[in-house]
Amino acid sequence: MDGNGRWAVARGLPRLEGHRAGLNNVSNAVRELVAMGVSHVTLFSFSTENWKRPKDEISGLLKLLAEALEQTAQELHRENIVIRHLGRLDRLPISLRLGIARIMEQTHNNTGAVASFAFDYGGRTEIVDAAKKAMESGLKPGKIDEAAFEGFLNTAGLPDVDLVIRTGGEKRLSNFLLWQSAYSELYFTDTLWPDFNHAEIEKALADYARRQRRFGGL
């Protein structure tokens, strides 16, 4: 979900308006992807490193998220979509934490696609936290393998990532789903997130369909 701030600056608007436009695009993008047959969608909404941004921008973004959360969740709920949160909750405002918990509970029994929102998420942090949980569980070192370890990740129960789409022109993973993206295909586009529409989604999926995935084999 990159490029919100640059989208706003290019239009002479405050950066916060770019974040608003980006949040407004979330429901549309998820529903477009699901309609095209995608069963699991994860959106990188806010990284652990994003706390380094100016405090007023963070405050505004958290407020915007709280406002958009209910509307977006209800739109996805009506589409029978399950909503999950990936990342830490302890640094988020209590009202936002409660809202996330309520929405996850509300959509828990839905039977459609799964939309995961990575908020206050970092791939390295997730792996470190998973290692701590594994130790605290009393799991013996000899019993730890990839399958067992995955049970302690935020994404437990979800499939590995097939395709990572990054908007905004940057060409790196930026600490996103490092474990789960080991064999992911990568697609980079200069299109900014608020402009990532049906046509752009089609281009990304068409590019992915042309790839030959080997998973380390021949």
pLDDT of residue 60: 87
Pick the closest to residue 192 from 210, 176, 168 (CA basis).
168
Is residue 218 in a domain? no
Q: What is the pTM of this model?
A: 0.92
Q: How many domains does the chain have?
A: 1
Q: Is residue 199 situated within a structural domain?
A: yes
For residue 215, the model assigns a pLDDT of 73
Residue carrying structure tokens 């390295």: 124
Residue 128, in any domain of the structure: yes
C-alpha atoms less than 13 angstroms from C-alpha of 115 in its C-beta half-sphere: 30
Domain span including residue 162: 4-209
Residue 69: what pLDDT? 84
In a domain, 217, yes or no: no
* Residue 44 located in a structural domain: yes
Examine residue 41 and state whether it is found in any structural domain, yes or no.
yes
**Residue 97, both tokens:** 């934490």
Q: Is residue 163 part of a domain?
A: yes
Catalytic positions, please?
A: 2, 50
Residue 216 lies in a domain: no
* CA-CA-CA-CA torsion sign (124, 54, 84, 29): negative
Please give the C-alpha separations between residue 119 and each of 20, 43, 51, 130, 132, in angstroms, as whole numbers: 16, 9, 11, 17, 20
The whole-number pLDDT of residue 218 equals 59
Give average pLDDT by consecutive 10-residue segment, the chain, 218 residues. Answer: 93 94 94 97 93 89 86 93 96 91 96 96 97 94 94 97 97 96 97 97 97 76
Read off the CATH number of the domain in which 68 is found: 3.40.1180.10
